[in-house]
Amino acid sequence: MNKLLIATNNKGKVIELQDLLKDMEIELVTPADINLNLEVEEDGADYKENATKKAISFAQASGLVSLADDSGLEVDVLDGAPGLYSARYHPKPGANDADRRAYMLENLRDKPRPWTAHFHATIAIAVTQGDVHIVEGNCYGEIVPEERGTGGFGYDPIFLLPELNKTMAELEMEEKNRLSHRAKAVMNAVPMLRRIFYS
Ligand code: IMP
């Protein structure tokens, strides 16, 4: 069976991507599975550049077709911040996801609600350096002032899906994996993966 490398060191993303791709009859491997210790600097100007850089770097290091995700949360009243910088949205080095959520709520406190926002994901699939496929997905909702739920990762406990009245962190993984930005991007990637692995 052909192998696809899930090109990320983010455990939350690995778990979701493994579930999203489980029916594809492709052998999924993680960097840890192949003892690959690679950190890629995310210095691109947009999600596409970062996702492409990560996918190509992991493909070159492993010799495997590699799928990388670059994603972020864009809050309208913060002019789209933290966006591309979602993983680094805190003045203090070494801050964790909980610190970043608290910092976001601090920055939103005096702003009028609803704090509408969306998650964005760009996925890059690198077959070789010159053969990279890009797909995208978005998920719309709003930020709420109190954390709810324990599932998912990152900003999930403060991101509400108004139509369900649940935060992302209150969803079962199966539900998040039907609705999320990453799920939508993966859905768009399926025809490409079929072409890459089955044609
Ligand atoms: P990057 O793609 O490595 O730059 O990191 C994306 C960052 O966006 C993550 O570290 C999270 O802070 C945030 N993020 C992306 N997707 C999600 C999600 O599904 N739930 C919550 N936070 C997310």
pLDDT tens digits for 4-61?
999 999 999 999 999 999 999 999 999 999 999 999 999 999 999 999 999 999 999 9
Q: Is 79 a catalytic site residue?
A: no
Q: Kindly state if the Cβ of 122 falls inside 6 Å of ligand 1.
A: no
Tell me the CA–centroid distance for residue 33 and ligand 1, in Å. 22
Q: Which pair of structure tokens corresponds to residue 26?
A: 């492709």
When pLDDT is cut at 50, 70 and 90, the band that residue 199 belongs to is: confident
What are the backbone dihedrals phi and psi of residue 21, each rounded to the nearest 5 degrees, phi first? -105, 5
pLDDT in tens, 126-152: 998 889 999 999 999 999 999 999 999
Instruction: Strands of the chain (E only): list them.
Output: 3-6, 27-29, 65-75, 115-128, 131-143, 159-161, 166-167
pLDDT band at 1 (very low <50, low <70, confident <90, very high): low
Of all helices (H) and strands (E), which one includes residue 17?
A: helix 11-20
Going by alpha carbons, the residue nearest to atom 10 of ligand 1 is 87
Local structure of 66: helix, strand or coil: strand
Q: Mapping DSSP to helix (H, G, I), strand (E, B) and coil, where does residue 53 land?
A: helix
User: Distance from the CA of 1 to the center of ligand 1, in angstroms?
Assistant: 30
Residue 128's pLDDT is: 86
Domains of the chain: 3-198 (3.90.950.10)
Burial of 53 from C-beta contacts in 10 A (0-12 / 13-18 / 19+):
buried
> What pLDDT is attached to residue 5?
98
Please tell me if the CB atom of residue 58 comes closer than 6 angstroms to any atom of ligand 1.
no
The one catalytic residue in 19, 43, 69, 70 is: 70
The percentage of the chain sitting over the pLDDT mark of 90, rounded to a whole number, equals: 96
- Answer yes or no: is the C-beta of 119 below 6 A from any ligand 1 atom: yes
Phi, psi of 80 (to 5 degrees): 90, -5
